[in-house]
Amino acid sequence: MAQFTVTGDVDPFLHVSLKSGEKIYCESNAMVMMESNLELKGKMTGGLGSALMRRFANGESFFQQHIEATYGAGDCLLSPTLPGAVEVLDIGTTRYLMNDGAFVAAESGVTLQVRTQSVGTALFGQTGGFFICEASGSGKLAVSGFGSSFVLDVEPGKDIVIDNAHVIAWDSKLHHEVSLTTQSGGGFLGQMINSVTSGEGMVLKFSGKGKVVICSRNRSNFTSWLSRAISGNN
């Protein structure tokens, strides 16, 4: 199997070591450096239909970069789109769902499939809209978020509430639903007012047993800042 290693503390690289014949694929423009034994090709993974669905689900480009150790073993360095940490997850008995822009790279044995979400989660949860990507199959999956990352363990009877803009990926066996930061007293209007005044708004509530990968910075704030920077408005 390919070796995935996160290199660097701030805005790290993903260092991938491939043996002869091994393959990975990654988001467009992720490749920073590769040794000459490796070959890079742009492919529409899974055909036009799958590419379109992933475009709707995670905002990915139609063509992904496929890197293969065609002429012998070699290493490559990949860089995530978001300025922040990279987490490497094992896909097999555990499948993971991913938030928008979280995908960095995966071994060829990992498949990205598209699932539909409930209307409430799609509209308010900011977790990929009506369609969301699920990683299945077998192999390594690298995901990234904005800022530092941390892996939370959800246990039965100990539900976790997370600001939706800080969620990177989560175990597909977990149940998740959109909720308000305050769930007791005051009725729905009171809960809405409390959510607005507390600065949190909508959150995601996870229950069951599994892992959730979170990031330290608010993805929505970063997206707004990036849009203003591109447009030249400060």
Rounded CA separation 219/115 (Å): 22
* Per-residue model confidence (pLDDT) at position 122: 45
Phi/psi class of residue 31: alpha, beta or left (left: φ > 0; alpha: ψ in -120 to 50)?
A: beta
* Per-residue model confidence (pLDDT) at position 178: 78
Q: Read off the pLDDT of residues 46-60 as tens digits, 9 standing for 90 and up.
A: 555 555 555 555 555
Provide the percentage of residues in the chain whose pLDDT is more than 70.
Answer: 68
Q: Read off the pLDDT of residues 183-232 as tens digits, 9 standing for 90 and up.
A: 544 444 444 444 444 444 568 889 999 999 999 988 665 555 555 555 66
Nearest Cα neighbor of 111 from 127, 135, 144 is 135
- Looking at residue 97, its amino acid is L
The 3-class SS string of 83-116 reads CECEEEEEECCCCEEECCCCEEEEECCEEEEEEE
Rounded CA separation 194/179 (Å): 13
Name the pTM for this structure: 0.79
Q: Read off the pLDDT of residues 139-152 as tens digits, 9 standing for 90 and up.
A: 999 999 999 999 99
Least confident of 21-25, 62-66, 73-77, 82-86: 62-66
CB 35 within 8 A of CB 75: yes
Nearest Cα neighbor of 179 from 150, 159, 156 is 159
* Per-residue model confidence (pLDDT) at position 199: 43
pLDDT category at 125 given cuts 50, 70, 90 is: very low
DSSP string, the chain: --EEEEE-SSS-EEEEEE-TT-EEEE-TT-EEEE-TT-EEEEE-TTHHHHHHHHHHHH---SSEEEEE--SS-EEEEE--SSSB-EEEEEESS--EEE-TT-EEEEETTEEEEEEE--HHHHHHS-SSTTEEEEEEESEEEEEE-SB-EEEEEEBTTB-EEEEGGGEEEEETTSEEEEEES--SSSHHHHHHHHHHHHT--EEEEEESSEEEEEESS-HHHHHHHHHHHHHT--
* Per-residue model confidence (pLDDT) at position 228: 54
Q: Which fold has domain 3-231?
A: Double-stranded beta-helix (3.60.160)
